[in-house]
Amino acid sequence: MPSLAKGTGMARAFAPAHITGFFEIHFNDDPRRMGSTGCGIVLDHGVETTVVADRSIDHTTVKLNGSIVHEGAIHTVVEMLTDVPVMVDSTADVPIGCGFGASGAGALGAAYALNRALSLDLTAEQLTETAHVAEVKNGSGLGDVMAQSHGGIVIRTRAGAPPFGEIDRIPASDYKVLCIVLGEISTKSVLEDTHAVRQINSAGRVALKALLKAPTIESFMIQSREFAIKTGLVSERALDIIETVGSVGGMASQAMLGDTVFAITTKENESGVQETMEKVGGVLEYRVSSFGPKLV
């Protein structure tokens, strides 16, 4: 573990949000090997995390959007990387608990900022592994970190953190991603439901196999919608919105795991899809990002 003599200071890092379209859970006693396969979209918004290490700090404090949090993946990241007391302050510009991978973004950003503030000299893969393990241990995510560490439309072909996890990507431009947040879903509660896990794994396995045969954005959205329906995770209100978007030539599904509808638009259908979704409620606008975490 580093001491204050090793390195002190302040560092800030950004990690992008991630929307999962479908997934399959792969259990393993080793948290580095446990995770999920599937596919999702990395966004241009996410979580910015500031770490301060100073001799005047006598205990670690973690804040999220201004409120102190006493447990979670960021705490675990700090415990894994240092015994030096630090101040961690994360600000999310995406909804929390609604399928945007905010927990993974916070953990990944915290790892990057700690690495710089304490001069830990860890590699990107080591930091990704730390954040992934923290997510698994807290039951807050299984595959977001691997996607967030790369950017783009990410296909997770093998579960786990580096070097065990493997990814590929669907080539894509900076599509606009429109979202309507309807409510929260607890990732941990779903993962603890044996019946739900069976449904998820069966549907997720089929979806990934189909996507790999036709790795396009259209195929991803079709498989995501089928997954949401087959697993029963989609809410009635979300399904109504998804079908309405489809009726105007759009592509929509539900973010996993969250009660959030997301739609990817093209130049041809962008205005029609946006107008349709705005009639339902507040629409959040993002872009597909090709970038992973970075120091800021």
DSSP string, 49-61: EEEEE-TT--S-E
Report the pLDDT value the prediction gives residue 281, as an integer from 0 to 100.
83
Is the pLDDT confidence value at 266 over 90? no
Report the pLDDT value the prediction gives residue 1, as an integer from 0 to 100.
54
Q: How many residues does the chain have?
A: 296
Q: Over the chain, what is the mean pLDDT?
A: 94
For residue range 14-70, list pLDDT tens digits in order: 999 999 999 999 999 999 999 999 999 999 999 999 999 998 899 999 999 999 999
Whose CA is closest to 130, among 32, 63, 47, 52? Answer: 32
Contact in structure between 286 and 177 (CB atoms under 8 Å):
yes
Query: What domains are there in the chain, each with its CATH number?
Result: 9-169 (3.30.230.10), 172-287 (3.30.70.890)
